[in-house]
Homo-oligomer: A and B are copies of this chain.
Amino acid sequence: MKSKTKYLEFKTNEKIEIVNITQQVETVVSESEIKEGLCLVNSMHITASVFINDEESGLKEDYKKWLEELAPYEVKRYKHNLTGEDNAHAHLKRQIMGREVVVAVTEGRLDLGTWEQIFYGEFDGQRRKRVLVKIMGE
């Protein structure tokens, strides 16, 4: 059994931003030299997501608008913000989008469907954050 661990760093320009990280994850898979296995990609922060969906700019806007409807920013709405934070909304948004994805590695590559792309979803950005990539296999 082989394994490979790598930490990717992100600092987004916007508070809320969706970043395509497929190529960066694919690079870690190549470096690992693992041919058959599983690849975990997770946000290490609780106000951000890693998820798989479509690389289409309109859809990214739809996600932002929709998440704002389901979990509005409104500072006074949340008890968590009594701690001095204003990011309770980001904790909720991230639960809808998910913390992590697990992707199959087959014949040395991410085994993704035609339109599947891996995204880092930032909901409380403009500061340094990390994503963990761990591959296990042979």
Q: Which residues of A are at the interface with B, using a C-beta cutoff of 8 A?
A: 1, 3, 5, 36-38, 40, 42-46, 51-54, 56-59, 61-63, 66, 70-71, 78-83, 88, 91-92, 94-104, 106, 111-116, 130, 132, 134, 136-138
Beyond A56-B80, A104-B132, A111-B132: 8 further Cβ-contacts under 8 Å?
Answer: A1-B1, A1-B138, A5-B111, A56-B83, A62-B78, A63-B92, A104-B134, A136-B136
User: Are A37 and B111 neighbours in the complex by a CB distance under 8 Å?
Assistant: no
Most B C-beta atoms less than 10 A away, residue of A83, A92, A114: A92
Q: Is the CB of B104 within 8 A of A92?
A: no
A52: chain B residues within 8 A (beta carbon) = 46, 99
Chain B residues near A57 (CB-CB < 8 A): 79
Quick one: copies of this chain in the complex? 3
Q: Specify which of B66, B79, B104, B113 is in contact with A130 (CB 8 Å cutoff).
A: B113
A104 to chain B, nearest CB (A): 4
Neighbouring B residues of A1 by C-beta, 8 Å = 1, 137-138
